[in-house]
Structure 1
Amino acid sequence: MNSKPNSEFDPILVADIGGTNARFALITAFNQEKKQFVIEHNITFPSANFGSLEAAITHYLSQVSHIQPRRACLAVAGPIKAGQVHLTNLGWHFSVAQVKAEFNLTQLEVINDFAAFAYAAPYLDPQQNIAVKAGQADTDANIAVMGPGTGFGAACLVRTSQSSAVLSCEGGHITLASVSELDTQLIIELRKLLPHVSVETVFSGPGIAYLYQAMAAAKGIDAKNLTAAQISELANSGECAICDATLNQFCDWIGSVAGDLALAFGALGGVYIGGGILPRMQARLLASRFVERFGAKGIMSQYVSQIPVTLVTQDNIPLIGAAACLHVNEQS
């Protein structure tokens, strides 16, 4: 932990850059007792207002001209390769080294949004999030993060008693496995719709529509042309039994996926679920067979039974993760 008193804390510029919004903030202190970062000057701009990342940063810094950060970490919804970042939805491209030089930064890290989620995990506030499954987290063991949204993201905070690092991955594209007879029927139907039935093709915003079509076919009912939003609305209003069954299956089956990823990552430090979908389905998730499916791992059932699972509803996760990235690396 940072042993500097708050007055000596070097402020960190952090950002969450997405296709719709660019959020910036300054981390001005770290509270050792609470293990929480102090976030100030949190401002959100429409990303489309700017032609480049540099323009967005310049505008933000003009709003906080009394503070001149010399270190920064940006969480971005896009790939980072060889120091180059492409944000396809915005048409932005930048070089990490050039941005670092342009803003006279001594330290600049750029990480993807799920890496930020992984870095943030140890610094989350339990009172702001929801326990889905009880367990006993090992404080020196790996933590898995995952979540369905526009796609399906996953990452791992790899920890030892001496250090930690984030493992990014493409876990959303692993092949979806069947556990129950209904799962098997659904996969048969999904294969008629999709060339590869991956986790992401089912457990994402667009994937809910595929799961609904497969559920209707498996039940021998003609599917309507419904969007994910319409499926959710009809399920929650009780107007459509197939829509209701679809969302229940979504919550049940994602329990199996979460258990699989917990095993793959050795996540005895806990599993954290975020993304844009499940926080809006809290009651359904908690009433589902998620926990049962998470733990149904044959000879490894005892292993996963001790792993706690948390649904993250807390705000500012990418900003906390960006700060934690620099903080963790500083301590290592």
Structure 2
Amino acid sequence: MTETETVLVADVGGTWIRFALARVSPGAAPTLGSQRRLAVQDHASLIAAARCYLQCLDSSQTPPDRAVLAVAGRVDGHRAIMTNHPWNIDAVECSQALAMRQVQLINDFAAQALAVPHLGEGDRVALCGSVSVRLGPPAQTYVILGPGTGLGVSALLSRSGQHFALESEGGHAAFAPKTDRQRAILDVLGARFQRVSYERLLSGAGLSNLHWAVARRAGIADALPIQPEDVTERARAGDPLANEAIELFCEVLGAFAGDLVLTFGGWDGVFLSGGLVPVLLDQLQGEKFRRAFEDKGRFSTQIAHVPVFAVTHPQAGLLGAAASARQPALATVPVGPVRGGSQPDGQPADPDSRLRAT
């Protein structure tokens, strides 16, 4: 890229799809305009949703001829299969149907990771007394994760001014309970699901699952799952079961975030994103999250120095997609062998992860 360009960017989640026109140019931070949010369930395909968005643009605007689509699911070349929605997305089909010269697909949390270097001080909140974060030479590594419709996981590698996002499906790793209470919750959920991943607890549906499991464990045999917004509303009203569910949520999220620091070597900081983070911001500032985050045995002292931030930018996924658009050809480096098959819980296998560069 040698000059300023307008690119269609999208953040495609299991519930909402967000569109914007991004102005991108070499060496400058991307900017977003003409933002719009559409309900996924209202459209038969991503192509149909994109057409709806493009048709609503001001007629004076030049239609973009390139797009970067951040998709909540595993991206394999020019195809993506969404995890929490039945859409299968093909970049070649999108390019042809939308009359664009190029359509690129990236994982939605790779986009969240690529947004981190462009977040201002007002776009993040330090949790539990965390100190400021610095991005730049020579080398830093950060963890990005977040509960929303699903549970996204990525890492950002900052190396000599370049930023690389690691694509993963880490949210589908098997839940590892750390306490007797968590083991009891796993027993309850294990009777309902063939396999209990972290996403079964750390997502919108996961918060509902936790509330249901807490109720069943309290002896309410006929308890039924309720919506996550009902859990948070009941917690605000003082309901003990809802408050215990949220407490467990923060505890498990803290432990998982700390484990990801060890896994990725993310000693320079953790960024929490996703739709549930602003809703539970006050609870995440509590001791349950931080205590579980730091409880790492022989590494507890080292991890105590790792800062954690909640991302409050309203469109971080779009910002990250726009940041990736500055590279006409995204660097894609496999870091594991490709294998077929499916996970025990029926989800598509995660045969490899990839690096995205910007």
Could you list the per-position Cα deviations for residues 147-173 of structure 1 after superposition, in whole angstroms to 9, with x for gaps in the alignment?
A: 122221211123322633222112112
How far is the alpha carbon of 1:319 from its aligned partner? 1.0
1:84-233 aligned within 5 A:
84-86=79-81, 92-100=87-95, 105-133=100-128, 134-135=130-131, 137=133, 139=135, 140-161=139-160, 163-216=162-215, 218=217, 220-222=218-220, 224-227=223-226, 228-233=228-233
The one-letter code sitting in structure 1 at the alignment partner of 2:200 is T
User: Is 1:305 matched with 2:304?
Assistant: yes
How far is the alpha carbon of 1:278 from its aligned partner? 2.7
Cα gap change, 1:196/1:98 in structure 2, threshold over 3 Å: closer, same or farther? Answer: closer
Q: Secondary structure at the match of 2:199?
A: helix
The one-letter code sitting in structure 1 at the alignment partner of 2:94 is V
Q: Which residue of 2 aligns with 1:44?
A: 37
Cα gap change, 1:322/1:242 in structure 2, threshold over 3 Å: closer, same or farther? Answer: same
Cα gap change, 1:80/1:136 in structure 2, threshold over 3 Å: closer, same or farther? Answer: same
How far apart in 1 are the matches of 2:85 and 2:216? 38
The one-letter code sitting in structure 1 at the alignment partner of 2:261 is A
* Identical amino acids, percent of aligned pairs: 31
Q: Which residue of 16, 24, 49 corresponds with 2:11?
A: 16
TM-score (norm 2): 0.78
The one-letter code sitting in structure 2 at the alignment partner of 1:196 is R
User: Greater CA deviation, 250-259 or 225-234?
Assistant: 225-234
Cα gap change, 1:221/1:60 in structure 2, threshold over 3 Å: closer, same or farther? Answer: closer
Q: Is the 8 A contact 1:24 1:43 kept in 2?
A: yes
Could you list the per-position Cα deviations for residues 179-199 of structure 1 after superposition, in whole angstroms to 9, with x for gaps in the alignment?
A: 333333333444344333321
Q: How many corresponding residue pairs?
A: 323
Cα gap change, 1:204/1:17 in structure 2, threshold over 3 Å: closer, same or farther? Answer: closer
How far apart in 1 are the matches of 2:41 and 2:248? 37
Q: Secondary structure at the match of 2:30?
A: strand
Q: Which residue of 2 aligns with 1:235?
A: 235
Please list every run of 5 or more consecutive structure 1 residues that lacks an aligned counterpart in the other structure: none
Q: Which residue of 75, 80, 86 corresponds with 1:80?
A: 75
Q: Which residue of 1 aligns with 2:22?
A: 27
Q: Secondary structure at the match of 2:154?
A: strand
How far apart in 1 are the matches of 2:170 and 2:89? 26
Q: Secondary structure at the match of 1:261?
A: helix
Q: Is the 8 A contact 2:143 2:266 kept in 1?
A: yes
Q: Is the 8 A contact 1:172 1:198 kept in 2?
A: yes
Q: Is the 8 A contact 2:74 2:169 kept in 1?
A: no
How far is the alpha carbon of 1:132 from its aligned partner? 1.0
How far apart in 2 are the matches of 1:111 and 1:13? 14
Q: Give the structure with the higher percent helix.
A: 1
Could you list the per-position Cα deviations for residues 79-134 of structure 1 after superposition, in whole angstroms to 9, with x for gaps in the alignment?
A: 43341244587765553234335656454321122221111122122213221141
RMSD: 3.1
Q: Is the 8 A contact 1:137 1:306 kept in 2?
A: no
Q: Secondary structure at the match of 1:11?
A: strand
Q: Is the 8 A contact 1:156 1:166 kept in 2?
A: yes
Cα gap change, 1:37/1:179 in structure 2, threshold over 3 Å: closer, same or farther? Answer: same
How far apart in 2 are the matches of 1:74 and 1:64? 21
How far is the alpha carbon of 1:210 from its aligned partner? 3.2
How far apart in 1 are the matches of 2:108 and 2:85? 16
The one-letter code sitting in structure 2 at the alignment partner of 1:252 is E
Q: Which residue of 2 aligns with 1:277?
A: 276
Please list every run of 5 or more consecutive structure 2 residues that lacks an aligned counterpart in the other structure: 332-356
Could you list the per-position Cα deviations for residues 210-265 of structure 1 after superposition, in whole angstroms to 9, with x for gaps in the alignment?
A: 323443455x5435334133333222201x32222221121122111110112111
The one-letter code sitting in structure 2 at the alignment partner of 1:116 is A
TM-score (norm 1): 0.83
